[in-house]
Amino acid sequence: MIGRIASFCFLAIAILCTSAAAQGREALGYGRIIVNDLFGDGRDRWRTGSISTSRVLGFGWNGRLPEHFGEIIEIRYGAEIISPQKLNSAGSGDRPFAGAMSWGLHTHFRLKNTEFSVGGELVAIGPMTQLDEVQKLLHELLGIPSASNTVLAAQLSNQWSARAVAEVGRNFYLGNRSRLRPFAEARAGDENLLRTGFDFTFGTFGQGELLIRDWVTGHRYRAIKNQQPGLSFVLGADVAKVFDSVYLPSSRGLTLTNARNRVRAGLHWQRKKSHFFYGLTWLDKEFVGQNQSQVVGAIRLDVKF
């Protein structure tokens, strides 16, 4: 049932996107974010690395989301590497190595002051993604150990999954430069979960912009920008109830934790032509037997001359 819902969402947004050119949509923006534990606690494990990119099409942008479903179309691509605690030995009770790539179509709109994001994605998991080879190449270039043959032999097998994602949130302004945004999110497909949390911003970041949420850290990155110079601080936290996860299969003796918590903070620095973001996220334990939480870092750098 959940898989059918995710597939339906993906198909519905795909139909909207296919007709984008015919309906006169134009490119409105592009965003990306890179996440790696090398930028955080420096240890190569669990949610070790990911990248997310977004391209946005629409009929124009006036600094606010449109009021109609489907006017704004976001084409999203993501890739993530998940690994056990030790790359040379998966160990009993540890999570398996997994590479996942996703291609998604999303739409963003509002009803009065409440913001909505709804979309569907197609997810490829396993050796067919070649992400294990990508990690091996990067580790060789950096001179650090790669995943052992034992770890790779036990990685999640090739499989496809649909993914549906929906978020609702609203900004509450606490003066000219501060705002609080509570939100709720539901995901179905490769991971089935319900999440609630908040984002707090001090500064101009996000004002008149379209922000996309990174699925690993919860940080929001800019896809449509206003290039307003300044320094902004962001803080956020959320908690999720995870009902099922392809990446933590019970068939391998893994049990999900009762709650999945995240706490994040970051800085955005914007000049006229350049933008820099660096953020940290504390990720709580995701499965019984995970002996520690972890900290991952996220970066975004735009330099124009």
CA distance 229 to 210: 17
Mean pLDDT of 9-35: 71
**Confidence bin at 305 (pLDDT 50/70/90):** low
Give dist(CA 204, CA 187) in Å, integer: 29
Who's near 120: CB < 8 A, 6+ residues apart?
6, 7, 8, 9, 10, 11, 12, 13, 14, 104, 105, 106, 162, 163, 164, 165
Tell me 17's DSSP state: H
> Is the confidence at residue 281, as pLDDT, over 80?
yes
pLDDT at 17 over 70: no
What are the backbone angles phi and psi of residue 8, rounded to the nearest 5°?
-65, -45
Q: Please, which pLDDT band fits residue 25 given cuts at 50, 70 and 90?
A: confident
The pLDDT of residue 272 is: 77
Average pLDDT, integer, range 105-121: 97
Categorize the per-residue pLDDT at 22 as very low, low, confident or very high, splitting at 50, 70 and 90. Answer: very low
Domains of the chain: 2-302 (2.40.128.140)
Give residue 3's pLDDT: 46
- 228 pLDDT band, cuts 50/70/90, is confident
* Residue 223 structure tokens: 């896809």
Q: Which helix (H) or strand (E) holds 52?
A: strand 46-58
Q: 201 Cβ partners below 8 Å, 6+ apart?
A: 178, 179, 181, 232, 233, 234
196-218 pLDDT, tens per residue?
999 999 999 999 999 999 999 99
Question: pLDDT tens across 44-79, in order?
Answer: 899 999 999 999 999 999 999 999 999 999 999 999
